[in-house]
Amino acid sequence: MSTPLTEAEIRAALVALPGWALDGDALTKTFKFGSFREAMSFMVRAAFEAEALDHHPEWTNVYNRVTVRLTTHDAGGKVTAKDVTLAQRFQKISWVA
């Protein structure tokens, strides 16, 4: 079972994650790409990152936007270090702010 991070730990992690926010008990971000094709290519690449961590996001796509919501189910739907790590990986592979 994963251990939830404290709000202070989450806030500290968000400093290095531009555009990410704490929304309730989840880390969230909406990525806005130049086209549907770009959004889909990001999702495919991000899926490989998620699979490598065995930690899968809740996400949606509408045309050029991908909205990501990260929580850890075995921590009661709270934010854990796994969520921060996945957000960092998504941030690293993204070419938009």
88 in a domain, yes or no? yes
Q: What is the pLDDT of residue 97?
A: 72
Better-predicted residue by pLDDT, 18 or 97: 18
With 90 as the cut, is the pLDDT of residue 1 above it? no
pLDDT band at 2 (very low <50, low <70, confident <90, very high): confident
2 in a domain, yes or no? no
Residue 38's Cβ-count burial label (10 Å; 0-12, 13-18, 19+) is middle
- Domain with residue 13: its CATH number is 3.30.1360.20
Q: What is the pLDDT of residue 41?
A: 98
1 in a domain, yes or no? no
Q: What is the pLDDT of residue 90?
A: 98
Inter-helix orientation angle 81-93/7-14, to 10°? 10
* Residue 72 structural domain: 7-93
Mean local confidence (pLDDT), 49-58: 96
